[in-house]
A and B are shown apart, each in its own frame.
Chain A
Amino acid sequence: MGIDLHIVTQQVVGGLAVGCVYALIALGFTMMLRATELVNFAQGELVMSGAFIGYTLLVVTPLPYLAVFIVASILTGILGMLIERVALRPIRMRQSPLLNLIIATIGIGICLRLVSQLIWGAAPLRYPVSVGQVGHLVVAGLPMSIQHIWIIALAILSMLGLHYFFERTLPGIAWRASAYDSYTAEILGVSFDRVVTMTFGISSMLAGAAGVLIAPLFFVAQDLWLQGPRSFAGAALGQFHILGTMIGGPILGLLETFAAGYISSAYKNGIAFGVTIIVLMLVAIPRMPRGGSLVFRYGRQSIADLFELNDKQAARLRYAMSAALGVLAFLLPLLLDTYEVYLVTLILIYATGALGLQLVIGYAGAIIVGHAAFLGIGAYTSAILTVYLGVPFLPAMIAAAIVAAAFALLFGPILRLPTHFCAIATLGFGEIMHLVFINWKAVTNGMSGISGIRKPSIGSFVFGEGAPFYFLTIAVLVVVFVALQRLIKSRYGRGLIAARENELAAISMGVNVAWYRTLSFCIAAGCAGIAGSLYAHFFSYISPDSFTILQSIAFLTMVVIGGLGSFAGAVIGAFFVLGVPEMLRTLAEYRILIFGLLLVAFMMFLPGGLADLVHRLLSAFRRKEGTPDVSAASSEQNEILAANPVKNNVSS
């Protein structure tokens, strides 16, 4: 079997070109992690921004490609610094946990994507390729694309520049010093805040440079953002060292090219994520468990505490509220029109999945960005079982939960990773599952999806469209809600919350933290599986496009906006996230932009979410009534000092 050297050469050069771009993007991740322990989820959107800025410069100004490359990089760098100063610094200054910062960067990414869509439109744009970039160069009889060589040369030049900056210039040396030991750097006069801003500036510059380089290979469109999370594998391969990343990027590029060329091109886009997950799980060396609080919460008291009710009164209040909600839920189909019932049913299905996610994020303190994958697993399981195998609805739904939970168990070690790694790994998991839905045609029927899923039935009763399905959904939601609520009040729940509050102490008290977190992940996946089953039977049709990163982010938004650490909040969040855009239907286009803005705004101004807002309003109401605030009621007030020793989560 002969190997065509011409093709191999082109593949190698092409792989290296893409890989060098990956390296630039990944260097941004590595720098950020080194200096601040943060994973900037907007890095991919900055790549996209750089590409768009470069496009405009090329089209509007007479600047040559090289000048555009430099100007676009600088502009993107400035954009990055602005993002840090305007949105992230206020969150950081409040000693918010890493989780809040990560969520904020996800929100910022969404905003950038949508803003670019408003400016440049959603249609892919072709990069105007300047002269001298087309054609091939023949070296030793082997043809190489000039465009690829340009990319490689410019990327290597950028990396050399970065290397010079770190090795020779005083700010570069100061940056390395601060990344190693920010306290000592600080007492020598190297301000940590400035280092953070500088880090954002440089990593965004690198992203911008990468955008201008990679755009000519593809069309310029919003989906360029995925290059960000994908490039993260380069940083992981390089063990999050600067030099390692410079090598890790090209290796990733070659890996992708050859795997696509010789194994299967269908999963090409998943390779990087697979690499990330595998490397992270291998490298995440057992570390000393952290003391202190992972997730700062917001001192939210229960309503019963707020109004100083005794147990009996609290129970009565709970019954009264449940009864009122129950009556409302019962009457709802009579009060709403068909479309509204349809919409509420859909919201309740999502809320069921969001409840599970709340357990992992709000109570276990981990962060899952690929939750929609479990929705999909549940949906496909249920659809396949009922359509192809004739299994009745109820067993199929239970099977959906179990299969989804089994997947979570398989990927359980992800939950042992530090927060930011967990986020990127689960994002990768979501992307890989999406590819599986598309490509495992024998089972999922590929892009055509599975249709003809019957409405659920128990015995001879069929839950048809409208009210019957609505009641089925709400029954499932209530069961899930009550089960989770009971769970969190149990010994397991206490252990889980304790682990979130203080891993070190929890382990010492006998909590098997790693296993508890994995379990919470499985339970969350199970909830999503149930929701997925309902989803499949609700629409009668499923396809891979229903289970993408967008749905995952919608889930995340529900949980965060609803309020971390509140199951009721997750339900409220689902209504808010899916319901509010419906009310503003004229703004449908901007629906996702609104998600992004909301994520950032909530992290900046109301990190406790809607549940916290309700609580604040209630306590304001309580104060107005003239009774003393509970928090000031105690005689020990003088003794009460600030909360925990607050550590700057961002400093290394």
Chain B
Amino acid sequence: MLTLENIWASYGPVQVLSGVSLEVPAGKVITLLGGNGSGKSTTLKTIVGAVKASAGSIRFEDKEICGMEPREIVPMGISLVPQGRRIFAPLTVMENLRLGAYARRRQEKSKDDFEAIYEWFPEVRQWLRRKGNALSVGQQQLVAFGRGLISRPKLLLLDEPSSGLAPILVERLGEIIMKLKESGMTILLVEQNVHLALSVADYGYILRDGKISMAGPTANLVGDGDLIRHYLGG
């Protein structure tokens, strides 16, 4: 569904991605792991066009999308749930959700879209009039997922959804991802929480210094002692 080929990207003088290639097949959950500053988030930002790649190719459903703007890419069916959830604090939950469907602008079906979100997360219905800054972290998490799903994306990009979450919420997060997976959603999951990532994903890539340093089915990665060395050295 999504193919990255030899993607390079930099912030000013800092080279962040130095030739990243990876593949996300339809209906699978793929995880991208790596330490702080290894370029995981940048990879996701490059896919939606928020960061411009300096070289390489990104194909989504056989269409080249590298170089396009987010407002062109998002309606094609890619949705990014950003790191830290980034709910718009001064906006109500309802408004946050509506913005999830902004790029697509299919207003006529929006009622159905909302119903679908309530089916996923029934609690959300009760908070619709609440402001974003009145939500707990756990509630924000659900709203962020809702905002990402309301446009009915074909590909969901999750940027460290577990960051800043209490352990119990991490568990809930794992359940949500599993449910999404069962529904047939294609997901690219960037995570710091290796355990979570490996328990939900089919296939994993490990990013180091802007390059893919390891890849394989998650079953193989789990047993690999190299992983720890990746994170804590030694």
CB pair B70 A186 closer than 8 Å? yes
A174 partner residues in chain B, CB cutoff 8 A: 99, 102
A644 neighbours in B (Cβ, 8 Å): 12-13
Tell me if B88 and A191 are in contact (CB < 8 A): no
Contact B12 A180 (CB under 8 A): no
Residue of A at shortest CB range from B11?
Answer: A645
Q: Are A177 and B99 in contact (CB-based, < 8 A)?
A: yes
The contact string, 1 if C-beta is below 8 Å from chain B, for chain A 615-652, is 00000000000000000000000000111111000000
Report whether B90 and A190 are in contact in the complex, using a CB–CB cutoff of 8 Å: no
Chain B proximity mask over A172-185: 1 for CB below 8 Å, otherwise 0: 01101100110111
Say whether A187 faces chain B, with CB atoms less than 8 Å apart. yes
Interface pair B88/A187, CB less than 8 Å apart = no
Question: How long is the Cα–Cα vector from A174 to B50 in the complex, in angstroms?
Answer: 17
Q: Does A170 contact B (CB under 8 A)?
A: yes
| Nearest A residue to B75, CB-CB | A189
Contact of A643 among B12, B75, B88, B89 (CB under 8 A): B12
- Rounded to whole Å, the gap between the CB of A647 and the closest CB of chain B is 9
Point out the residue from B12, B74, B88 that lies within 8 Å of A189, measured CB to CB: B74
- If A184-B88, A191-B70 touch, whether A645 touches B95 (CB-CB below 8 Å) is no
Contact with B along A251-283 (1 / 0, CB 8 A): 000000000000000000000000000000000
Asked whether, in the complex, the Cβ of A176 is within 8 Å of the Cβ of B12, the reply is no
The reply to whether A170 and B12 contact each other, CB–CB distance below 8 Å, is no
Q: How far is the CA of A190 from the CA of B102 in the complex (A)?
A: 7
A188 and B102 contact, CB distance less than 8 A: yes
- Cα-based distance from A191 to B75 in the complex (angstroms): 13
B91 at the interface (CB under 8 A from A): yes
Instruction: Please name all residues of chain A whose beta carbon is closer than 8 Å to the beta carbon of B107 when the two chains form the complex.
Output: 170
Asked whether A176 lies within 8 Å of B11 as measured between CB atoms, the reply is no
Q: Which of A149-192 contact B (CB under 8 A)?
A: 170, 173-174, 176-177, 180-181, 183-191
Q: Would you give the shortest CB distance from B80 to chain A, in whole angstroms?
A: 5
Give the interface residue-count category, chain A: 20 to 34
For the residues of B in contact with A, the DSSP-based class is mixed
- Name the residue in B70, B75, B80 with the highest tally of chain A Cβ atoms < 10 Å from its Cβ: B70
Shortest Cβ gap from A140 to chain B (Å):
39
Give B45's nearest chain A residue, CB to CB: A187
Bound together, the chains give a CA A643 to CA B12 distance in angstroms of 7
Question: What are 25 inter-chain pairs, A to B, with CB distance below 8 A?
Answer: A170-B98, A170-B99, A174-B99, A176-B88, A176-B90, A177-B88, A177-B91, A177-B95, A177-B99, A180-B89, A180-B91, A183-B86, A184-B88, A186-B50, A186-B70, A187-B45, A187-B48, A187-B50, A187-B74, A189-B71, A189-B74, A189-B102, A190-B99, A191-B69, A641-B12
Q: Let me know if A173 and B13 touch, CB within 8 A.
A: no
Assess whether B14 is in contact with A184, with CB atoms less than 8 Å apart: no
Name the A residues within 8 Å of B137 (CB-CB).
none
A645–B14 CB distance below 8 A: yes
In the assembled complex, the Cα of A460 lies from the Cα of B99 at a distance in Å of: 79
Say yes or no for B138: interface residue by CB 8 A criterion: no
On whether A645 and B71 interact (CB within 8 A), knowing A170-B98, A189-B102, the answer reads no
Residues of A within 8 A of B100 (CB): 188
Q: Which of B12, B82, B89, B90 contacts A187 (CB 8 A)?
A: B82
Nearest CB on B from A300, distance (A): 21
| In the assembled complex, B200 has its CB within 8 A of some CB on chain A | no
Interface pair B102/A183, CB less than 8 Å apart: no
User: By the criterion CB–CB under 8 Å, are B88 and A180 in contact?
Assistant: yes
Q: Verify B80–A187 contact, CB threshold 8 A.
A: yes
> In the complex, A174→B74 CA distance in Å?
15
A123 to B125: give the CA distance in the assembly, Å: 62
- Chain B interface size band reads 20 to 34
| B91 close to A188 (CB less than 8 A) | no
Interfacial chain A residues near B89, Cβ < 8 Å = 180
The answer to whether B103 has its CB under 8 Å from any CB of chain A is yes
Interface string of B118-158 (1 = CB under 8 A from A): 00000000000000000000000000000100000000000
Q: Which of B83-108 contact A (CB under 8 A)?
A: 86, 88-91, 95-96, 98-100, 102-105, 107
Partner of A180, one of B45, B90, B147: B90
Bound CA span A463–B48, Å: 71
Point out which of B88, B89, B104 has the most chain A C-beta atoms below 10 A from its C-beta.
B88
B102 touches A187 (CB 8 A): no
Known: A186-B50, A187-B48, A187-B50. A181 touches B88 (CB 8 A): yes
- Chain B residue with minimal CB distance to A646? B12
Question: Quick check: A173 and B98 within 8 Å, CB to CB?
Answer: yes
Cross-chain contact B12 with A188 (CB below 8 angstroms)? no
The answer on a CB contact under 8 Å between A642 and B12 is: yes
Scan residues 4-60 of chain B and give those whose CB is less than 8 A from a CB of chain A. Answer: 10-14, 45, 48, 50
Asked whether, in the complex, the Cβ of B80 is within 8 Å of the Cβ of A173, the reply is no
Which 7 pairs of residues, A with B, have the shortest CB-CB distance? A189-B103, A645-B12, A641-B13, A189-B74, A184-B86, A189-B71, A191-B71
**With the chains together, A421 CA to B69 CA distance in Å?**
33
Chain A residue contacts of B69, Cβ below 8 A: 191
Residue of B nearest to A189 (CB): B103
A94 to B10 Cα, complex, angstroms:
18
- What's the nearest-Cβ distance from chain A to residue B219, in Å? 32
CB of A396 to closest CB in B, whole Å = 53
Interface positions of A from 193 to 226, Cβ below 8 Å from B: 194
| Distance in angstroms between the alpha carbons of A188 and B49 in the assembled complex | 11
Say yes or no: B50 contacts A173, CB within 8 Å: no
Q: Cβ of B75: which chain A residues have Cβ within 8 Å of it?
A: 189
Q: Once the chains are docked, how many angstroms separate the CA of A643 from the CA of B14?
A: 11
Q: In the complex, what residues of A have CB within 8 A of residue B102's CB?
A: 170, 174, 188-190
Q: How long is the Cα–Cα vector from A191 to B74 in the complex, in angstroms?
A: 11
For B103, what are the chain A residues with a Cβ–Cβ distance below 8 Å? 188-190
The one of B82, B86, B95 in contact with A173, judged by C-beta atoms closer than 8 angstroms, is: B95
CB distance from A26 to the nearest CB of B (A): 20
| Chain A residues, CB < 8 A from B50 | 183, 186-187
**B52 → chain A, closest Cβ, in Å?**
12
* B91 in complex: contacting residue of A173, A186, A187, A194, CB < 8 Å: A173
CB distance from B233 to the nearest CB of A (A): 27
Complex Cα spacing A176 to B96, Å: 11
What residue in chain B is nearest A171 (Cβ atoms)?
Answer: B102
**Bound CA span A645–B102, Å:** 30
Bound-state CA distance A198–B45 (Å) is: 25
- The distance in angstroms between the C-alpha atoms of A454 and B75, with both chains bound, is 76
Taken together as a complex, chains A and B put the C-alpha atoms of A173 and B89 apart, in Å, by 12
Distance between Cα atoms of A159 and B124 in the complex (Å) = 32
Shortest C-beta distance, B95 to chain A (Å), equals 5
- Besides A170-B99, A170-B107, 4 other CB < 8 A contacts? A177-B99, A186-B50, A191-B69, A641-B10
